[in-house]
């Protein structure tokens, strides 16, 4: 699913993906936590987990 970041997020551990506000992310549900997503920053190619509440669906529906 294509998402856009709403807020910046600084990673808390090596598997997290730091986010910058207003960037495109390709995301999948996390296998370990319903409140997190696993995804890739489409600009940098970096991958990792991040809080679901920090992104919105590019079609306008909130993912949180």
pLDDT in tens for each of the 64 residues of the chain? 899 999 999 999 999 999 999 999 999 988 888 899 999 999 999 999 999 999 998 765 544 4
Q: What is the pTM assigned to this prediction? A: 0.81
How high is the pLDDT of residue 62?
A: 46
Is-contact 49 38, C-beta < 8 A? yes
Determine the pLDDT at residue 50: 95
Domain boundaries, the chain: 2-57
User: What pLDDT does 30 receive?
Assistant: 83
Residue among 45, 36, 31 nearest 9 (CA): 36
Residues in the chain: 64
CATH number assigned to the domain with residue range 2-57, chosen from the 4 options 2.160.10.10, 2.30.30.40, 3.10.450.50, 2.40.37.10: 2.30.30.40
């Amino acid at each position: 699913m294509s998402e856009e970041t709403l807020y910046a997020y600084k990673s808390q551990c090596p598997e997290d993906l730091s986010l910058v506000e207003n960037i495109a992310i390709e995301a999948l549900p996390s296998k370990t936590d319903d409140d997190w997503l696993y995804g890739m920053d489409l600009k940098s190619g970096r991958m990792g987990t991040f809080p679901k509440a920090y992104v919105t669906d590019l079609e306008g529906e909130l993912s949180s």
